[in-house]
Structure 1
Amino acid sequence: MSNMISADQLAQLRDDTPGLNSGVHLNHAGASLMPQAALQAIHAHLDLEAQVGPMEAGLLVADKLQDLRKHAAQLINAQADEIALMTSGSSAFGSMFAAMPRLNKGERILVGRQEWGGNLANYQRAALAAGASVETIHCHVDGSVNAHALANMIDSRVRLISLTWLPANSGLINDAAAVGKVAAAAGVPYIIDAGQALGQVPVDVQTLQCDVLKSAGRKHLRGPRGTALLYVRRTFLQQLEPAWVDVSSAPISTDAVHLRDDARRFETSEAAVALQLGLAESIKLALEWGVDQLGQVSAGLASACRTRLARMPGITLHDLGDLSDLGIGPQSGIVAFNLRGHDAMALKNKLAQQLIYIGANGIPYTPLDMQARGLHSIARASFSYLNTVDDVEKLARALEQLA
């Protein structure tokens, strides 16, 4: 593909997305719209299951599932045996974290200020039980993680570094590679939550130097809900003992239990194969068109939206990460804002009545950052290359009417 996607190519992508006929979808950070190819793959496999039986159908597409792992690995510059197919970002993270050795008293987990609430809850529970601590890495003035400050926090008690790369409550893009350099130099395991990154920005786990990366498939990657990817670096895998296994992840022979020596030790023998085949089509689309090019379109639309909303009375923007005068940026396809006099959750519902679909986040999603900024909730318009400048204007006009 060329470095720029043409208007005709974008029109083709939109034509291949049936959901665009149902309103203005601005919640791609929550769950995007599947392409026609993914829908067809899901339907075709369900038909096959109905004809020959689910077990038999699964055997017939085993090669396609292995191709899915290969393509997922290609998407993030990993090896196929470092990829596990999971059902959600939370299940991917939870299975991996439960497999890590227990914390000891006095040990420390260092997290970015925008750490996803689900990850943070697991860290805090484990730390409380062990007498360990969870500490927040200091930020730059734009709110992004400060890798230099992180380096100064490292000591022999640091057990883990964790970063939510693109937070759910702003347009910030953290410098995940800079954090990776610090973690690698210190020999500390490094986990990245790439839920908002995968499908929106290029992901290269070698450059990031992370040991674990996880993401749901339903967001900017445009896969079906109920799918996720878990990457575990092969050299880190040997430190992980799954909290539980089944006949797929640890088959029993006549003499012993054999734990798989690849990331599939976190998979189970039971899976929604139809959904995985849908995810395979979404990943193929991302590889074909290029995540960098697609992400530039969504980031441009988000920037246009920020500019439009900034001129409107009653709107307060809550995005982080854009201090261009200091050389900091750019921002992602998420636009966080509030409309004076309107609760974010209620605003989301009011816009949905006009067939304009946005998201809304409360404190539990990004508790450290929300509390640090004194925010109770935010409304969130998240853009994809599927959107247009007309969608920006429809959102702005609807907000003006509500204001």
Structure 2
Amino acid sequence: MKKFNVTIVGGGSTWTPGLLKGLCARQDTFPIDKLVMIDVDEERQATIGEFAKILFKEEYPDVNFSYTTDKSEAFREDVDFVFCQMRTGGYAMREKDEKIPLSLGVIGQETCGPGGFAYGMRSIRDMVQLVEDVRAVAPNAWILNYTNPAAIVADALSRLYPEDKRILNICDQPENLLRSYGRLLDMSPRDFDPVYFGLNHFGWFTHLYDKEGHDLLPKLREMILEGGFRPADYEQRDKSWLETYAMVEQMVRDFPDYLPNTYLQYYLYPDKVLKKLNPEFTRANEVMAGREKRVFEECNRIIENGTAKDSHVVHNDAHGEFIIIVAESIAYNKGDNFVVILKNDGIVENLPNDAMVEVAASLTANGPRPYAVGEIPTFYKGLIEGQFAYEKLTSEAYIEGSYTKALQALTLNRTVVSALKAREVLDALIEANKGYWPELN
């Protein structure tokens, strides 16, 4: 069986240990020859990297592992897959993304609304540089991208690299939802055949078939309405995520046609969500005090003890496993069905062809083969068209350096609406993002 060379971009991420554990767990189905991690933050990555050395020594000794801050070491002509999970500006900028909008009376969230706009404008720059770096030495490598906000990043990359068919933008939230449905139904998420449409963080499951072809969505709908909804790994989730999943019951009660992506709460109930958000302690603060603290403390404990055999925090989660099984399907031409982000081109008949839609597709060695969705109802079409216009204008604002398009984008966003408020928020974000964004004129 062929062994693959993989580069992980964002080696210092709190999600990286789960990804590394996932590679160990799937070494028989996705064998690795050489694994390189790269990050701009040398100190963060060193902690994860030293943990990885111990983990691989015990669980995967055949891997040729290294970590670096040098692009020439990370991106070489023999790389097969680049797993990308960058966070431009780190948690310091994420905190600003969340707190600046809240200080001005609108939702502050990592990927949605003005926070997502700010993050997207930063991410585009670094993702473009990544593509250039990889393609300079490895024109045939697959770039599997987790970098958020995936919708804006995917739109920009599609416009800038329209002929590059080996960039695949993915998100683990549909996978998290499938795992949560699986826990409710006592089933494996791999036993589901999902039908899904929308944009990233802005979509719906319309059907969820089992292996016999039975649609389980009606049963799930009733279970959610009667007993609420929790993530599959709710024992390990922070409080804000439990509240986010709990909102699914409200969305299903109000709009019972389909099962929604959890992020839709920010767009369907911005007034209600805004009241719950604490402008002094946002999700960024919760992560820094929670998951980040736990992961780095555990990695340091493992390094000190010299063994990862008793690790209880660093686990194989949906984020870590999903990108690997996507790579497996491509590497071995398996044609497995996943929800991924693709250029529409008629997949959803009554949406623009250039929209980067999130839909189910069979993943092969020659790329994704999406399943047609057909026409979608007016309510969902209207929501998606407005959100897509915001995402497209954000990409264009970055590419063209256009203040006007940036203002138009934020005015369209359902978490903002007011042009006066959009200008106030935009000006504050421009000031906070000097050095990250292009100059807007």
Normalised by the length of structure 2, the TM-score is 0.25
Higher helix proportion, which one?
A: 2
Normalised by the length of structure 1, the TM-score is 0.27
